[in-house]
Structure 1
C-alpha cells in the first residue's frame, strides 16, 4: 500500500499557498463571462448589481449590502450567477425537438443548465417523450382546468428563494384562495432550523446583527459556514475585522481555504501582493455532529472561570446583570455544563480541552461577540439544539442588543428570508391569517399544510395530484431523491416555473409544463412601465431591484404575471382581488403586503422609493423578547451527547454533503472546486488520510457509499474516487446533490423538519473493476 505524502493531502493550507479571493477570483469571474459569451455587457451589468438607485439585487446569496456600496459591489460567485442567467445560450423548442426526456435524464446537472435560457412555454408529449412548444393561453387554461378537478390539499406550491417579495406574496395568496396551505419552501432545506429555534430562545427568527456590528465586534465566532464559497462578500467584512484586531474563531470539520487566508479583490494592497490576510485566529476542526459538545465545553470553561473570579472578588466573566434582567433557565444550563466530564466533551466534539480553552479565552477577552452559523449547524437531527447552544453562548455575555454583538445566521438564497416574511409558510399564525381574511375577503384555512419533507412523504404515499414549482430545482435538491422521483410519474400534473432547463423538468407527472420566467437581471415591463421588485437580505434589509437586460425571449413572463394569470385561470372572481390590476403595477402588491403586515412594512412603497433600502424592526436588538415569558431563554438538551448521531467508534462513517466553489445550490457552474484543489470531477469522497490507510483503501480508489438507517431501505451511490483531505477521523465529505440519495427523508430535525444533510451515517465499499467501468460516466443517482 502506498504511503500518502503531504502533497497528496487536499485542504491542507500552508503559509505559502494561494489565499482565497485575489487574482484567481478575478480570473475566474472573467472566465465565466467569456464562457457564457457575455464579456462586454456582462461587465457593464456588474456595475448595477446591488446598487440601491435603480440597480438590481444579486440573484445569488443573501449577504447584505453596505449603506454606501462601492461601484463594484459583488463577489466572484455573484458574478457567476449573473453570467449564468445573462448567458447568450438559449434552450429553444428546436433543442427539445432533438432530445427525448429519457435521453436528457442521462445528462449531468451542469450540462442541462449549460444549454441556456428557456425561451418558450413547453408541454410534455407522452407519445414522443419530448417537450413541445405551447402558447401561454393554452398552457394556463389547461393548468387551471386541471387544478379545479383536484382536492386542493393534494396540490403542492413550492417556492424558491429567488422569488421576490411581491411574487411570493401573490403565490401564497393564490394558494390560500385555492383552499390549502401546502407551501414547501427552499428554507425548509437549509435555515428552517434557525427560523424555528431562534424564536424559542430570543423571540425572533432572524439576525440580530447589522453589517455595522461587524465593524465593532471584538470576536466573531463562525460555526459550520464556508463563507468563501457560499457568501464570498462576507469575507471582505471578516478581512476588515481581522485587520483591525478582532479575533475570528472558526469551527468546521473541513479546513476551508478562504477562512484560513483571504485576499480581498477590492483591496489594492492585497491585489498587489496576492498574499492576503490570515482570517481565522483559531481554526477548530470539530467532529461532524460535535458542535453541541464543543459549545457546551466552552461554556463549562467560561462558567468555571466566572466561579473563580467571583470567589476571588474579581470582575465577573459573564454578564450576570443581563442574565438576571432578561433571561430565564440560566442556572439549569450552568449546572448541566458544569456536570459534563471532559472525557465526554472531548470524545464527542473531537477537540481537546486545550483547543476549547483557547476559544473560551477569546470569548472571555471580548466585550462584543458575534456568532455566525450556516447549514453545518442547521442540517442535523439536533440542528435546533445546535442553534440554542450558540444563543446560550451569546446570552451568557449579554451579546444580544449591544453594538458589535449578536446572532448572525448566514442565509443562502437571496430572498429566502423575504419569502417567509411575506407569508410563504405552511403553518402561519392567526394574526397574519386574520389580516389576510380582512384585506382580501377570504377565509384562510387554519390547518397546517406541508413543508418540503411532508411534501416528499406525501408523494411517496401517492397522495399528491399536482406539484407547481416557483423556481428552483426541487426534485434534485431534496433528500431521498431517487425514491421520491420514482413516485412523481404518479402525479397528474407537474409545472415548473423556471429560467433554465434542470433535472426537475425531467422528473414529471402525467401532464407536465415548463413555464419560462424572466430572470432578476432582466427588464420587467407591465402596462408599458418598468417595474421594481423588492428583496429582503439575511440581515433584514429590504431593497428594490430593477432588471437591466432585455429579456432572453419575447415569450417570457415575469413570475408575478405567471401567478396572476394562473390564478385568473383557476379561481372564481373575487371583488377584492383583481389579479390583472395587481400585475399592472407592483406597487399595488406592496400596498397589499403592508395592509396585511402594517407593523412589519409601514410605509412600504414610500420608504422603498425615498430611502432605497430600509431595515425591518427586530425587537431583540432592543432587548425586547417576544417569547411567552417576555424573557430570553437558555435552552439545552439534557441527553443529546448520549444520543448524538456522530457517536465515536460506530462502525460507520459520518458524511457531510457540501457545495463546490463553482456551484450555487443545485446549479453547477463547472466541475472544478478551486478552493479544495479538486478539478474536472464532482464524484469524489473526501476522507482523512489515517482512515484511508486504517480501512485498507488507497487515495484514488473508486468506492460505493451506502447509508446506515433503521427503515430497512437500501440507499447507495457509486463511482466516487477517494481523495485524502484535511478533516477529522471517521468523517467524510462529498458534494451535494450527488449524494442526496443517501439521506433518508425521515432523518431530519424534529422541530423544523430540516433534513440532516450534514450528518449522514454511511459505510464504504471498494468497487471492483467491472463495477467501476459500469459506473464510469454515469450520474451518481442513476
Structure 2
C-alpha cells in the first residue's frame, strides 16, 4: 500500500502516471509477461472484450485499444493468485468478514465451488452436482416463486443473460433486480416515454462531427478513460466541450494520451473542457432549465435558435413547455443550480450557436430523487434544436459495466414488456409470469421483511454495491439460501444466508471449451454495438464453469422435469443460444452472421432515425417544476431550528483505483489521495466555518425522516479525514462502498427506484470513540472501518 498522504496532483489525466499504474498492476498480480500478451488481445476481432466499462471501441482491430482501468480489470482477472479451498480452511467467515474489501478480492481467483458449513463457520468444497441440487431443493420448496430473487451483474454476456432470464421466467418469477436499477434506470424511465428508446442515439462517428459536447455528472478520466481520446480529438478540431460537475476533475481538464509519442516525450497534454461549470450537487436540473429559458428569451426577441420545422413535424407538448419556461424565476434557477445567471446564459449560448451537440451523462445525473425529470429536461433541450436523429447530435448516456445495456436488451428486467413475454411463450412453449418483479431496492426490503427467501446473484457484489448497508445485510442474513456466481472473493460472500454457496465461473479473458469446441460470447456497448468476445487464457481452475453452462445446469436441476427447453444442448455451442435470441428479438436477425464481422453490428435505434416509438408516435416535451423538496431541502428545514447545525449534501463516488465496488488499490491519483480511502472532500471555507481544520477526523451521519428525535435508525459512517478540495460550499464527496451505509433505502429516484446516492443530506461531527449504532454490529464496523 502507498504511503498515507494528501498531495496535490498537478499533472494531466493519462500520461506517464497511467503507464506507471499499468506496469504496477501487471507486476502486482505476478503476470507481467502473460498480462502484456493478454492485453494485446483486448478488444480484438479474435480476442476478448475488455471486462471494464461499456465505452465503445474506436477501432476493433487496434493493438492498443485499452486504458488504465481496462488494464487493472484484466490484471485482476488474469492474476496468478488463487483463492482455493486452502484459503477457506485457514479462515472462518467471521475472520474473513473483518478483512477489507481490497484484501478479499486480492486473494486471487476462486477455484472450487464452496458451501457454507455453519457448524465450523467456514466454507468447504462441494461437488457441482451437489451445489445445483442444493439450489434446486430450496427453489422448488418455496410455496411461491416470487420468494426467490435473481440478481444480475452487468458483466454477464448476452448468452448468459438470455438463458438466465429464460430459466427464471420458466421457474415462475420476474424478480430481476440488477445493476441497472442502481445506475441508469432513470435514463430508460425518462427517455422511453419521451423518444421511444431508453438508450443513447449517438455513435462514435457522431463525436467526429459534432460542434459541441456537453458533459453532465460524469468523470470520464476515472470511469471511462477511453472516452478521453474522443474528447481530446474533438477539442483539437475545435469542438466546444462544456462540463458540469461539482468537483474539479482532472480528466475533464487535461489529458495526455499515452499512445501519443510526441505528447509523452514533451510531457505535454491536451485541454479537454473549453468551459467548466461547478454547479451544486443536484443542480443540473436548474441549469438545464435555465439554458432552455435563455433560448426561449432569445427566440422571443427574434433570434432564430429553435428548430421550428423539427418541433412541428416530430414533437408534441412544446407550447406547454415554452409557457413554463417563460414563467420560471431566474432567482430560483440561480439558487438551486449554484451558478450565476450569467454562467447559465453563457452555457446556453454555446449550445445555441452550435450546429450540432451531444449530451453525455453518468450517475451524477441518475442517482438523485428527481433524476428522471432531469433527464427529460436534457432531452427537451436537445429536441428544441432538433439535436436528435442527425449527425453529430443526440443523447449519450454513458454506462458502466461492459454489458449492462446488453443484459437489459436480453430481458433482464423486472418490468418486462408484454411483447417479450408473448414471444417467449411462443418460442419456448411455456406461459411466463406477467406480474412485475422486484427491483434492487424492493428486493432488499423483501429480504429484510422475510418475504425473500432465496437470493441468487449472477456476478456482482450485492452487499457492497447496494444502499443502506445495515438494512441490506440484515436482509441477506434472513435468507434461507444465498448463492453467488463469481470469479473472486468479495464482501457479499461473508454476508450470507443460513445456507450459502460460492460458485466460481470463467472470466472474460479465459478460454471457454464446450462440447462444440471453443466458444465466444457477445456483449453490447453503450452505443448499441454488439460484438463477440473470445477468451485466450487457460482457465484459472479446471473446476470453473462458464456462466451459460452454469445457468443451463441449474435450470436442468431445478425445472428440467417440466421444461421443454433443451438446456444442455444449447450450451454445447453458443451459436445455438444466439439462434434462440434471434427467434425472440427481431433486431438480432442473422445474429451469428452479423456478429462474425470484425467489430460486430449496431442494433437498430428508432429515435436515431426520427421514428418515435411512443404512444403518440411523436417525441414529447415534458414540463417540470424546479425541485424544491429534495432530501437536503427537507433536512435543512427539519434542523433549521436547531442552532448552528450545518446540513451538507454528500455525493458518493469512486476513487481512481477502483471500478464499481472492486478496489484495486488505495490511491486516487488525480485527486491527490494516496494510501487511504476514508476521506471526505470539502470546501476549505466550510472546514473553517465548522471550527475544524484540514486533516481532522470526522464522523458522518445521515439526516433522514426515520432518524433522530427518538427514532430507532441511525445511519453513520465514522472516522473520515477532512480534505480541502475545489468543491462548492455546502457539498461533500466521499468514496463508496464505505459511505453506502449513509444512503437510506427509501431515498430513491421518483419513477425509477434508483438509490439517490449522489444527494445524501448529512452532518459532520468531530470523530470520537465509536458508538454502537442501533443496527447490525458488523455493518457498523464496516462503516467505521
Q: Is the 8 A contact 2:149 2:443 kept in 1?
A: yes
Residue 251 of structure 1, aligned match among 239, 244, 251: 244
Q: Residue 289 of structure 1 contacts residue 645 of structure 1 at CA under 8 Å; is this kept in 2?
A: no
Aligned to 1:5: none
Tell me whether 1:665 sits opposite 2:660 in the alignment: yes
- Asked if 1:228 is matched to 2:214, the reply is no
Give yes or no for the alignment of 1:132 onto 2:124: yes
Match of 2:732 in 1: 732
Structure 2 CA distance for aligned equivalents of residues 530 and 484 of structure 1: 39
Q: Determine the C-alpha separation between the residues in 1 that align with 2:628 and 2:547.
A: 48
Structure 1: gaps (5+ residues): 1-7, 311-315
1:553-592 aligned within 5 A: 553-574=541-562, 576-592=564-580
Other structure's SS at 2:401 match: coil
Supply the distance in 1 between the matched residues of 2:387 and 2:450 (Cα, whole angstroms).
Answer: 48
Q: How many residues align?
A: 761
Give the match for residue 641 of structure 1: 627
User: Which residue of structure 2 aligns with residue 767 of structure 1?
Assistant: 767
Q: Residue 289 of structure 1 contacts residue 644 of structure 1 at CA under 8 Å; is this kept in 2?
A: no
Say whether residues 1:275 and 2:250 are aligned partners. no
Query: What is the aligned partner in structure 1 of residue 339 from structure 2?
Result: 351
Q: Deviations over 1:674-701 (max 9, x none)?
A: 0100011110011011111111111111
Question: 1:779, CA displacement in angstroms?
Answer: 3.4
Paired with 1:397 and 1:213, the residues of 2 have a C-alpha distance of 16
Measure how far apart 1:329 and its partner are.
Answer: 1.3
- 2:619 is equivalent to residue 632 of structure 1: yes
- Gaps in structure 2 of 5+ consecutive residues: 638-645, 708-712
Give the aligned partner of residue 779 of structure 1: 782
Structure-2 separation of matches of 1:529 and 1:766: 61
User: Partner of 1:755 in structure 2?
Assistant: 755
Shift of 1:771: 7.5
Task: Provide closer, same or farther for how the CA distance between residues 112 and 555 of structure 1 changes in structure 2, counting only shifts above 3 A.
Answer: same
Q: Is the 8 A contact 2:455 2:476 kept in 1?
A: no
1:43 maps onto 2:36 in alignment: yes
Contact 1:60 1:78 in 2 (8 A): yes
1:608 aligns with 2:595: yes
Native 8 Å contact 1:480 1:744 kept in 2: yes
Residue deviations 1:647-694 (CA, integer Å, cap 9, x gap) = 497641100000000100000000100010001111001101111111
Q: Distance in 2 between matches of 1:321 and 1:647?
A: 40
**1:395 pairs with 2:383:** yes
Q: 1:550 matched to which residue of 2?
A: 538
Once the 2 structures are TM-superposed, how far is the Cα of residue 135 of structure 1 from its aligned partner? 1.0
Match of 1:500 in 2: 488
Matched, 1:177 2:143: no
RMSD: 1.8
Q: Of residues 150, 157, 168 in structure 2, which corresponds to 1:157?
A: 150
Counterpart Cα distance in 2 of 1:10 and 1:303:
46
Q: What are the equivalent positions in structure 2 for 1:19-98 lying under 5 Å apart?
A: 19-51=12-44, 53-67=45-59, 69-98=61-90
- What SS does the aligned partner of 1:748 have? coil
Aligned equivalents of 1:27, 1:337: Cα separation in 2: 50
Q: CA–CA distance in 1 between the matches of 2:657 and 2:100?
A: 15
CA distance in 2, matches of 1:270, 1:324: 48
Q: CA deviation at 1:528?
A: 5.4
Between the aligned partners of 1:442 and 1:210, the Cα distance in structure 2 is: 38
Deviates more, 1:420-429 or 1:606-615: 606-615
- 2:513 paired residue among 525, 537, 540: 525
Q: Counterpart of 1:325?
A: 313
Query: Deviation string for 1:109-131 (max 9, x for gaps)?
Result: 00000000000000000011000
Distance 1:350 1:658 in 2: 20
Match of 1:204, SS state, is coil
Check whether the contact 2:43–2:60 (CA below 8 A) recurs between aligned residues.
Answer: no
* Structure 2 contact 448–478 (Cα < 8 Å) conserved: no
Measured after TM superposition, the shift of residue 781 of structure 1 is 5.4
Matching residue of 2:671: 676
2:387 corresponds to 1:418? no
Aligned-residue offset at 1:67 = 4.5
| Equivalent in the alignment of 1:103 | 95
Under a length normalisation based on structure 2, what TM-score does the superposition of the two structures give?
A: 0.95
**Residue correspondence of structure 1 range 312-391 to structure 2 within 5 A:** 316-391=304-379
Give the Cα–Cα distance (whole angstroms) in 2 for the partners of residues 483 and 395 of structure 1.
41
CA distance in 1, matches of 2:574, 2:555: 16
Alignment of 1:380-529 (within 5 A): 380-527=368-515, 529=517
